[in-house]
Structures are given as C-alpha cells and as structure tokens.
Amino acid sequence: MPASGAVVLEARGIVKKFPGVVALKKVDFNLRSGEVHALVGQNGAGKSTFVKIVNGILRPDEGEIRVFGKKVFFKSPADAKRHGITLVHQEITLVPHMSVAENISLARIPTKIKGFGLLDKKFMEELATKVLDELGLHLNPWIKVKELSVGEQQLVQIARALAENANIICLDEPTSALTPAEVERLFEVINVLRRQGKAIIFITHHIDEVFRIADRVTILRDGHKIATLPISETDPQEVIKLMLGREPEQFYIRRRAHRVEEKQKPILVVKNLSTQPAKARGVRLKDISFELYPNEILGVVGLLGSGKTELGKALIGMEKVVKGEILFKGRRVRIKSPIDALKLGIFYLPEDRQKEGLVLLMRVRENIVISSLKNIVNILGVRRINLEKKIASEWVRKLNIVTPSIDAKVMNLSGGNQQKVVVAKALQVRPQILIFDEPTMGIDVGAKVEIRKIIADLANKGYSIILLSSDIDEVLALADRILVLSKGVKVASLINEGITRDELMRLMSQSIPP
C-alpha cells in the first residue's frame, strides 16, 4: 500500500475522439492514496469517457496513464483490474439470483480441486465475510442479492472491488438510486476505504455530496479540464459556475408563488383516496385528499417508500383505487387506464424516463408524436412524415432539445435532453394537468436549471402541475403548496411560505404507525 497522499494514478494529456466530436481534450488528472477525488461536469463534459479510459474500457487517442508512477497501456478492463483499478457502475451489475458470497467471488470462482467444478464454499464465505467486515457491513454471505435493498447491493459491489484487491475505486453516480439513509451508510463505507488508503474517484451530479465527502474536485466542461480544487478552498457556487461556464443564480431561482383566488375552483379534487399496490413491494395509499388549481404547482414530497410515485400512477389508472373519489372539473370520474387519463387531459411523466417514458431505439421525432399519432395520420391510417417532422422540429426549438437531428435515436441523447423529449411528448397531446415524477433525477446541474424553468413556465402559461419529488430544494423553489407523504399517508399540507429544508425533512421522516 502506497504512503498516504502519494500519487497512485496520473493521466497526462488524455485525448479521445469519436466520429464528429472530441470527447476529451488534453485532460490531466491525478489521484492520491487515501483521498476521495470528485469528478463533476454536465452530461457530455467527458466524465464517463475519462473513467472508461482509466478502466480499460476505451483507449485514448493521445496521452498516457501512469499507475504508481509506471506508464501503463490497458487493452481491457481485466488489464486495469490487474493494476488494482476497478469501476463500480451506477447500474447494479450483480447477479440477483446468486448469493452475496457468490457475487463477491464471481471474477474468480474458487474450486476445491483445480480443474473440477466443485465450489469451495468455505473459501467464498471467508472472503465475503472478510471484505464485508472491513466495510463494517453485517450481511449474511449466503443471502440472495435480490433480497437486498438497492443501497445494500451498491455496497456489495464495493465489497467485490475489495475482494479483487482494488486500490483505486471509481464510483460512478453511486447515490443516484439511494435513500438518504443509504447515502449516509455509503459515505461511512467510503470513509472506511479512505482510512484504508484506498484512492477513490467519485462521480456525481449532486454538488452537496462533493462537499460532504470529497477532498478535491476536478471540473470538466465540453471535454476540457477547467480546474482541480481542494474542497477547503472552494464552495458550491464556484464549482457550479465552473461547470456551467456562467453564473449559477438560475439554479437557485425561486418561482413567484401563485396564489389561489377565493372564488377559484379546483381543476382536480382527490378525496380519501386509498389504493391496492400494483407491485408486491408497492406502497398502499391511505385516505389521501387534496385539491389542484389552475396555474398551480402542487409539490408532493417524501422519501423512498412514501407513496409519491404510487399517487401519480393512481391518478392515471396504473394503481388500483379501492376507496375514495376523483373529481375533474367538478365531475366525478373513474380513471382505469392512462388512456382514460389522456382523454381527460391528464399526462404522467414517469420517474424512469428510459423504461417508461421513451422508446430508446426510436427516433426523437417518433418519440415526440407517439402519444398523439391519431393527429398525424391520414384517412388511410398512414403517418404524415412531413407533418411529424414539422411538429418535432418545433418542439426541439421551443424546448431547446440538443440533438444532432430529429432523426437521431433518443437513446443517444443526454439525460436532460431525453427528459425534454418526454416533456415535448406530453405537451403535444395538449393536456391540462401534468404530473412530473422526479423530473430532474439523474441529470446534471445545467439540465436541472432548464427543466425547472420549463416547469415554472408551464404553470405560468396555465397548466396545472403535480410535482412528485424527493428533492427538497426543487419543491421549495417551484411549488405553491406542498403535500408531504410518509408510508402512504399524508402527514402535512402546507402553503409554501417560509418553510425550511429542515422542517420538510422532519415531516418526510415522520414515523407512521402501522
């Protein structure tokens, strides 16, 4: 193990070119033993490309990598692992039907007799117990991975890296799917790794996390390294400014609250709504009541398992309503499917835009019109392609969707631009109510600014919006009123005036009797 503070990884003048774009432009970077070095930048800044080069997934066109002072050339991820470098992916890469111990030993399954297939379960258990203990994790080595929470699975991936004798660990968006409690646990594990002298590259879109866990931060923008700064010598404002290339005031903008007039009637009334979960681990909603008014943003906040998503889906018929009623413009309605909701003018933009909001292999223009195809087909049922292109081009311009063309596959767009395509698809059906579920999850700071501005502008133009979010700052910045859920129960309904982050967090964390 190198001495604490010694440079263990150095990249010099890294250049990576793809057809039509230079992803990295003479990037320098170094990593020290016992430090957490955050790597930040907007989508497309070059973070993922750089980390893939460090881990042997891609090869640089120019420049060199040095590990422990020696120049190396990686032909594959296996080469990088042999030099003590491993990547813990954002997506869980464990085998769900295998045990923790089996997953930890997966790269080198031990057998009792070399050349025979009899597994050495004793060795596997000892190895798993050793690395789990090193991280302070108390898990049964033989529990199936599918029975663990997402946070626990993420930690098992880190344990597997230790079992592979990694000294340099790259964590790619490790907190993106974690609850606040799981984030705290992950940070405890990272601190254990730091004390062990491991060197960590920490990629995140959450700037607050950078200042909680990192020792230094490197900012990339458009393939260039903009700066490397000690955390003690900078602040979030400066980092965001360097990421965006402009002043970040917009990021903190607060929408001027809309006030409901005394005689104004709600567009949507929900009374004592209770549901039967569609999924085995889903949340049961219990007696939820609220109103939604024209031009209003109703923020719905809660931790994982609060029932936010279930509420959104119940309003479009994707969760079974077993009690209560929904009134749309004063008339009681029964919404059994998203099609029923669309006919009324209610559109739900899902949390998982890639799986539920988009068809990734289809073109941008096809995704934009997919919910309104009846409006672009002729009397023979044939799509009018020229009309489709005109509609898509208008939305690309209006929402500033960054794409090579409207014929580009939507899977190749950044997260923020994919979200804009979902918004375009929603607006194309001319709804009256938009339900946004975690609209800025997994997108960079600059894209968050744009998406939040779009939401605020839509409310100002007359749309009624339900904003389902676990991002307290987002809700405080945008919402007129706030509904707080915990374990399927409404614990508070507040006008957004003078509410603090701490107050909302306390309400979100409130214990609800069974």
Q: Return the pLDDT at 50.
A: 95
Count of CB atoms situated within 10 Å of the CB of 244: 19
Phi, psi of 416 (to 5 degrees): -65, -40
Q: To the nearest 10°, the Cα dihedral for 177, 486, 311, 460?
A: -80
Query: CB–CB of 99/141 below 8 Å?
Result: yes
- Check residue 111 and report its DSSP letter: B
Q: What are the structure tokens assigned to 196, written together?
A: 């062990």
Q: Return the pLDDT at 250.
A: 55
Task: Pick from 110-114, 123-127, 368-372 the range whose average pLDDT is largest.
Answer: 368-372
User: Given phi > 0 = left and psi -120 to 50 = alpha, else beta, which region is 46?
Assistant: left
Report d(CA 480, CA 297) in Å as an integer.
5
502 exposure class (CB count in 10 Å sphere: 0-12, 13-18, 19+): exposed
Angstrom distances, CA of residue 160 to CA of 80, 93, 407, 410, 412: 15, 11, 41, 33, 30
Distance of CA 221 to the CA centre of its chain: 20
What is the arrangement of strands in the sheet containing 36-40, beginning at the earlier edge strand? 85-88, 168-172, 199-203, 36-40, 216-221, 224-230
User: Given phi > 0 = left and psi -120 to 50 = alpha, else beta, which region is 37?
Assistant: beta
Q: For the chain, what are the domain ranges?
A: 7-248, 249-345+431-514
Q: Return the pLDDT at 366.
A: 94
Q: Point out which residues pair with 328 in neighbouring strands.
A: 268, 331
To the nearest whole percent, how much of the chain has pLDDT over 90? 57
Q: Annotate 133-189 with three-state secondary structure.
A: HHCCCCCCCCCEHHHCCHHHHHHHHHHHHHHCCCCEEEEECCCCCCCHHHHHHHHHH
Mean pLDDT confidence for 466-472: 91
The 10s digit of each residue's pLDDT in 492-513 is: 999 998 888 888 888 887 756 5
The 10s digit of each residue's pLDDT in 385-418 is: 999 999 999 999 999 998 999 999 998 888 889 9
Predicted confidence (pLDDT) at residue 256 exceeds the cutoff of 80: no
Q: Return the pLDDT at 435.
A: 97
Return the CATH number of 7-248, one of 3.40.50.300, 3.40.50.740, 3.20.20.70, 3.40.50.360.
3.40.50.300
Residue 211 sits at the vertex; the CA angle it makes with 92 and 413, to the nearest 5 degrees, is: 45
User: Which amino acid is it at 481?
Assistant: R
191: which residues sit within 8 A by CB, 6+ positions away? 213
Say which residue, 282 or 7, is predicted with more confidence: 7
Report d(CA 163, CA 121) in Å as an integer.
15
The 10s digit of each residue's pLDDT in 298-354 is: 999 987 778 999 999 999 999 999 999 999 999 999 999 999 999 999 999 998 888
The DSSP bridge pattern shows strands 297-301 and 62-67 to be unpaired
Distance of CA 170 to the CA centre of its chain: 18
The DSSP bridge pattern shows strands 481-486 and 297-301 to be parallel
Q: What's the first-to-final CA gap in the chain, in angstroms? A: 50
Q: CATH topology of 7-248 equal to that of 249-345+431-514? A: yes
Distance of CA 209 to the CA centre of its chain: 14
Query: CB–CB of 512/487 below 8 Å?
Result: yes
Say which residue, 351 or 280, is predicted with more confidence: 351
Predicted confidence (pLDDT) at residue 112 exceeds the cutoff of 70: no
To the nearest whole percent, how much of the chain has pLDDT over 70? 92
Which of 201, 159, 196, 155 is CA-nearest to residue 55? 201
Name the fold adopted by 249-345+431-514.
Answer: Rossmann fold (3.40.50)
- Only one residue has tokens 């109703």, namely 298
Q: Return the pLDDT at 152.
A: 87
Q: Return the pLDDT at 304.
A: 74
- Check residue 321 and report its DSSP letter: E
Element (H, E) at 270: strand 268-276
- Only one residue has tokens 């990272």, namely 190
Query: What confidence tier does 69 reach under pLDDT thresholds 50, 70, 90?
Result: very high
Element (H, E) at 306: none
Listed range (30-34, 93-97, 191-195, 330-334) with the worst mean pLDDT: 93-97
Residue 165 sits at the vertex; the CA angle it makes with 164 and 166, to the nearest 5 degrees, is: 95
Query: CB–CB of 478/463 below 8 Å?
Result: no
Say which residue, 269 or 106, is predicted with more confidence: 269
User: Which amino acid is it at 361?
Assistant: L
Predicted confidence (pLDDT) at residue 149 exceeds the cutoff of 90: no
Residue 303 sits at the vertex; the CA angle it makes with 313 and 359, to the nearest 5 degrees, is: 40
Count of CB atoms situated within 10 Å of the CB of 277: 15
Residue 239 sits at the vertex; the CA angle it makes with 236 and 240, to the nearest 5 degrees, is: 85
Say which residue, 309 or 471, is predicted with more confidence: 309
Report d(CA 436, CA 431) in Å as an integer.
13
Query: What confidence tier does 269 reach under pLDDT thresholds 50, 70, 90?
Result: very high
Q: Is 3 helix (H, G, I), strand (E, B) or coil?
A: coil
Angstrom distances, CA of residue 372 to CA of 385, 394, 410, 506: 13, 15, 18, 42
Q: Return the pLDDT at 441.
A: 82
Average pLDDT, the chain: 88
Query: What confidence tier does 4 reach under pLDDT thresholds 50, 70, 90?
Result: low
Q: Return the pLDDT at 185.
A: 86
